[in-house]
A and B are shown apart, each in its own frame.
Chain A
Amino acid sequence: MPPTSTAPALDIHAIAKTFVMHLRGGAQLPVVRGASFVVDAGECVVLGGPSGAGKSSVLKMIFGNYRTDAGHIRVASSGGIVDVASASPREIVALRRSTIGYVSQFLRVIPRISALDLVIAAAIETGADKDTASDRATRLLCRLNLPERLWHLPPATFSGGEQQRVNIARGFAAERPILLLDEPTASLDAANRDVVAELVAEQKSKGAAVLGIFHDDDVRRLVADRIVDITRFSA
């Protein structure tokens, strides 16, 4: 339940980020400056701009992987508004459990855990019981056309595309109010791209706020309600 019906799910205000590379003589690498936009529940906002504009960095700042030098990243959570830019590690851990999901194109493989169990675990993390989680995981892996013979194997030996689909299944098995998508469709075939577009639409209709990066024009056209061009905020 959002704390106030007027607060957007995600409110990005004047965020800035510069990397300082100490191993390169303290070289400064500005990424983004003064970026501001909001994402409301039930809509999908796509970050636009050329490669290197800082789109991925913005997602990582929102998820808390990258620190934010200035500005606010206000997230509406069940416990109230949390500003990721100044939140404690514990608050961010809690926010990731309850509120913000993140799907990249890369799966961080955990040794020995099967593809199916990875997806089930993601659903359980957001409060699904075992049966619901298992149903949801099975349906997602089916829809994403992961051959059933792979379900009970750990994905370490899967191809890049297979790992990617396990990762997408994980991301959508966990139902959170905010979903960040970092090029989840990169290198997927057309059929699977369409599945991802459907999954995004379903999340939207359930009221999730979706913020994504999609290079593929077709997918972008299918899912985006608005496009925020990040180049105007490039530092």
Chain B
Amino acid sequence: MSSAETPLLRADGLTKFYGTRTGCLDVSLNLYEGEVLAVVGESGSGKSTLLSLLSMQMEPTHGHVHYRMRDGEMRDLAGLSEAECRLLLRTDWGFVHQDARLGLRMGVSAGGNVGERLMAIGWRNYGRIRHEAADWLARVEIDGGRIDDPPGTFSGGMRQRLQIAKNLVTKPRLVFMDEPTGGLDVSVQARLLDLVRGLVADLGLAAIIVTHDLAVARLLSHRLMVMKAGRVIETGLTDQVLDDPREPYTQLLVSSVLQV
């Protein structure tokens, strides 16, 4: 099978119980290279649990996640060695947290935050690392003069952009995003969304974006999954699910969005 036909990531029957409470139930999906999947639903619908399971931050109670490694082999993530996991997390994957403080080291300079990921994959030349970091700060529209400042001195929107630079500097093939625009002002959101949209398209990234904001899903994703009470209740092409929602709950979600 050619790589275009094999999914980059495949999940089968992912289930997570927290004691007797259900986090997520029997979720299966395929994600292909360059494809952006949005997972929407209200708080408690299981979308963040799903993201944690897919990105190895949490172990499923049942089910498996397979990922196509750079050598083309489809591997069960549960079977990876610790070193393989580390390499995947540092190079081929990115994870953008809603709270940038979870994805950044707040005491380290902006340049250091970005450079760190390069050092983790073996870059040693200080000048090259700094040059690459500066290049990425520019791509996410952070003034080069701030390269030595720690993110603690940045605004919320800048921190989020720095987190994105840090994740993309190693040219990952897959990026997970958990409410990437949550908690930002609307104008700051717009700038971030536009930036993410451009970068995802330019780099041909695959992405899984968890959001409760249908407008974010519409702007960024090709495909949409709607979750409720831990289950996927509707899935399809993003504008099809939003323009022609089939399930009662999806119709409620779509009709609840305020028009501006």
Contacts and interface: CB of A to CB of B under 8 A. Distances in A.
Contact of A65 (B193, B197, B243, B255): B243
A113 B222 CA distance: 20
> Which of B32, B191, B237: most chain A CB closer than 10 A?
B237
B120 interface: no
A149 interface: no
Contacts of A92: 237, 240
Contacts of A67: 236, 240, 244, 246
Given A65-B239, A65-B243, A23 B248 contact: yes
A112 B192 CA distance: 11
Contacts of A112: 190-191, 194
Nearest to A66: B244
A90 B251 contact: no
Contacts of B190: 111-112
B102 interface: no
A85 B155 CA distance: 47
Nearest to B192: A111
Interface in A18-70: 19-23, 60, 64-67
Interface string B171-214: 00000000000000000001101100100000000000000000
B187 to A, nearest CB: 8
> Which of A19, A60, A93: most chain B CB closer than 10 A?
A93
Nearest to A26: B248
Interface string B148-183: 000000000000000000000000000000000000
B194 A64 contact: no
> Which of A19, A65, A92, A111: most chain B CB closer than 10 A?
A111
A110 B197 contact: yes
Given A64-B237, A67-B240, A89-B237, A22 B193 contact: no
B191 A110 contact: no
Contacts of B248: 22-23
B66 interface: no
Nearest to A121: B201
A89 B194 contact: no
Interface string B217-257: 00100110000000000001101100110111001100100
Interface residues of A, number: 18
A23 B251 contact: yes
A90 B35 contact: yes
B251 A21 contact: yes
A15 to B, nearest CB: 14
Interface string B16-47: 00000000000000001001000000000000
A65 B244 contact: yes
A90 B32 contact: yes
B239 A110 contact: no
A23 B255 contact: yes
B200 to A, nearest CB: 13
Given A66-B244, A67-B244, A89-B236, A23 B222 contact: no
A21 B247 CA distance: 9
B244 A22 contact: no
Contacts of A111: 190-191, 193-194
Contacts of B251: 21-23
Given A93-B222, A111-B190, A23 B252 contact: yes
A60 B243 contact: yes
Nearest to A22: B248
Contacts of B244: 19, 60, 65-67
A19 B254 CA distance: 15
B245 to A, nearest CB: 9
Contacts of B194: 110-113
Contact of B219 (A19, A65, A66, A110): A110
16 contacts: A19-B244, A22-B247, A22-B248, A22-B251, A23-B255, A65-B240, A65-B243, A66-B243, A67-B244, A89-B222, A89-B236, A89-B240, A90-B223, A92-B237, A110-B197, A113-B194
Nearest 5 interchain pairs by C-beta: A22-B248, A111-B190, A89-B237, A66-B244, A65-B243
Interface of A: 19-23, 60, 64-67, 89-90, 92-93, 110-113
Interface of B: 32, 35, 190-191, 193-194, 197, 219, 222-223, 236-237, 239-240, 243-244, 246-248, 251-252, 255
Given A90-B32, A90-B35, A90-B223, 7 more contacts: A22-B247, A23-B255, A64-B240, A65-B243, A65-B244, A67-B244, A111-B193
